Amino acid sequence: MKRLLFLVPLLTIYLSSCHRSGGNAQLPANVTLSKEVLLDKIKGGWAGQAIGCTYGGPTEFKYTGSLIPEYVQIDWNDTIMKLWYEKAPWLYDDVYMDATFVKVFDSLGLDAPVDAFADAFAHAGYSLWHANQAARYNLLNGIKAPESGHWKNNFHANDIDFQIEADFAGLMAPGMVNSAVGVCDKIGHIMNYGDGYYGGVYVAAMYALAFVSDDVEFVVNEALKTIPAESEFHKCISDVLRFHKQYPDDWKQTWFEIEKKWEEHHFCSAFDAYNIEAKINSAYIVIGLLYGQGDFTRTMDISMRCGQDSDCNPASAAGILGTMFGYSKIPQQYLSALQPVERLDLSHTDASLADLYEMSYRQAQGMIERNGGSVTGDSVTIAVQQPVAAPLEVSFPGFYPTKIIGWRKIQEQKIENLAFTGKGILINGHVSGPGDYVAEVELIIDGQVAERAKLPVGYLERRNELAYTFDIPNGEHTATLKWLNPQKDAKMTIGSIIIYGDAPQKK
């Protein structure tokens, strides 16, 4: 039986004339929360995210394409989060990226321009990977948002990056799902596009809805209305919902069915079991939420045991559940580990979790007032929004990996007149040398320069790939990679080369 959230006397919900139809829950028109409950939920969202990230940290990407066995146990204790904070602060990339955006809103207000967010994370001192790092590279090299996240400029456009850092957008827009999507549209396209962008939209929508419903299944279904039905992302999550109904007591069977249908990935880490694309990792979040049935530990554990990005997925699941039930309802064993780090600044920021609680709380009240709600005395009234689907966008339309050259092998130190048939080519590799060295390369296709790129050695400024183009006609081509400024103390290592065609390889 579906239910809407009632926490009396701290919470009163003003329902529309009929909030149920045929036994199915519907969103109310308005929701009134005490400020105490609002803050408790916001704190629960942030706390859940940090706890879930820690819970799955030891297993991150150690299980790719396989479930994490039950005998793999998580060693949890009161000092575990402080240890991660001190020894491996990069684990919390989920949280410090959110913190960067929350700080910009705090400094510049709810109408802060997109360039302010892009500039803040491009010049931050923390490490980034995949779509985030590709966007940082683009921004530092003159490609501004939103083009910094577009698939033609960002090979990682479908990756999980915005999905893991969109929590803040839902936490600042309680019950206002379309307002949360509006925040996502501004910030999510800095680093992602298509399914990668939708991962963040979907997570933010679930957070926003978790303020006004404690029915996990309802939240998961309702949030999916923000994703266009034609997208691969929507189809993948719809399959999770379908298999959950078919196998309501067997999450592993649902995982297996999703793996059979959706594990194949075509871009980042193609030809590898490592899968960091948003849609399948988001499926693991949903599997945890549905089969966890509101239990905090079980929800995190199932999302983690689905594998792949097994710290980020339980982080999102636990954050959504923490928002739904509040900080005060998180089991004490997790709060005992969290509380010693709540006032410690996150890596390369001047913001702590305690700071984020307060900033998101202020921002949520501002969003409530500007979107038809009210803030009076010790309560807020939210004008709840009915979800509307974001516009359809597709990354890499009509591109399929057809061949890999040098699978897990290092190539010769040059590529010259490489013959291939296709409509795109990606050259993996990296440059090493003095820390301030910046290699310059040209990718030449059929005698014409298709791309000229700078390749910094510095880890924060690096580019993830040596060269690529998806802007050539399908057919026979030759490729040459030309190193324009070699020097004795620098080295270019060429890894695998992936060719893309206009149709899937025939079996």
CATH for 344: 1.10.4080.10
Report how far residue 344's alpha carbon sits from residue 42's, in angstroms, rounded to the nearest whole number: 18
Residues 172, 301 within the same domain = yes
Single-letter residue type at 205: A
Instruction: Tell whether 390 is covered by a domain.
Output: no
Report how far residue 374's alpha carbon sits from residue 393's, in angstroms, rounded to the nearest whole number: 35
Q: Are strands 374-376 and 467-469 parallel, antiparallel or unpaired?
A: unpaired
Residues 203, 63 within the same domain = yes
Instruction: Tell whether 410 is covered by a domain.
Output: yes
Task: Give me the domain span that covers residue 480.
Answer: 400-501
* Residue 260, Cβ density class (10 Å: 0-12 exposed, 13-18 middle, ≥19 buried): exposed
Instruction: Tell whether 430 is covered by a domain.
Output: yes
Confidence label for 319 from pLDDT (cuts 50, 70 and 90)? very high
Regarding pTM above 0.75, the answer is: yes
> Is 301 assigned a ligand-binding role in the annotation?
no
Please give the mean pLDDT across all residues of the chain: 93
Token readout for 494 is 């060429």
Residues 206, 301 within the same domain = yes
Report how far residue 62's alpha carbon sits from residue 40's, in angstroms, rounded to the nearest whole number: 34
User: According to the model, what pLDDT value does residue 15 have?
Assistant: 34
Residues 354, 415 within the same domain = no
Residues 201, 107 within the same domain = yes
User: According to the model, what pLDDT value does residue 24 have?
Assistant: 59
> Is 311 assigned a ligand-binding role in the annotation?
yes
Instruction: Tell whether 89 is covered by a domain.
Output: yes
Report how far residue 346's alpha carbon sits from residue 96's, in angstroms, rounded to the nearest whole number: 6
pLDDT(412) > 90: no
Nearest to 53 by CA among 313, 337, 320, 341: 313
What is the side-by-side order of every strand in the sheet holding 374-376?
11-14, 30-34, 379-383, 374-376
User: According to the model, what pLDDT value does residue 22 have?
Assistant: 33
Report how far residue 166's alpha carbon sits from residue 186's, in angstroms, rounded to the nearest whole number: 11
Choose one of 336, 360, 384: the last residue of a domain.
Answer: 360
Nearest to 454 by CA among 142, 118, 152, 129: 142
Instruction: Tell whether 99 is covered by a domain.
Output: yes
Choose one of 330, 345, 360: the last residue of a domain.
Answer: 360
**Phi/psi at 77 (5° precision):** -155, 175
Report how far residue 105's alpha carbon sits from residue 95's, in angstroms, rounded to the nearest whole number: 15
Gyration radius of the chain's alpha carbons: 23
Instruction: Tell whether 459 is covered by a domain.
Output: yes
Residues 334, 474 within the same domain = no
> What average pLDDT does the segment 229-246 reach?
98
Q: Count of domains in the chain?
A: 2
Asked if the bond preceding 456 is cis, omega within 30° of 0, the reply is: no
Decide: 497 and 411 in contact? Cβ < 8 Å: yes
Residues 352, 430 within the same domain = no
pLDDT(40) > 50: yes
Instruction: Tell whether 32 is covered by a domain.
Output: no
Instruction: Tell whether 172 is covered by a domain.
Output: yes
CATH number of the domain enclosing 434: 2.60.120.260
Residues 103, 229 within the same domain = yes
Residues 252, 335 within the same domain = yes
Residues 332, 450 within the same domain = no
Single-letter residue type at 486: P
Decide: 186 and 221 in contact? Cβ < 8 Å: no
Cα 38 from chain centroid (whole Å): 24
Choose one of 311, 342, 360: the last residue of a domain.
Answer: 360
CA distance readout (Å), 463 to 130, 306, 338, 466:
9, 30, 35, 7
User: According to the model, what pLDDT value does residue 407 have?
Assistant: 64
Residues 344, 436 within the same domain = no
Residues 306, 430 within the same domain = no
User: According to the model, what pLDDT value does residue 404 have?
Assistant: 94
Query: How many C-beta atoms surround the C-beta of residue 231 within 10 A?
Result: 20
Host H or E run for residue 210: helix 195-210
pLDDT digits (tens, 9 = 90+) for 422-466: 999 999 999 999 999 999 999 999 999 999 999 999 999 999 999
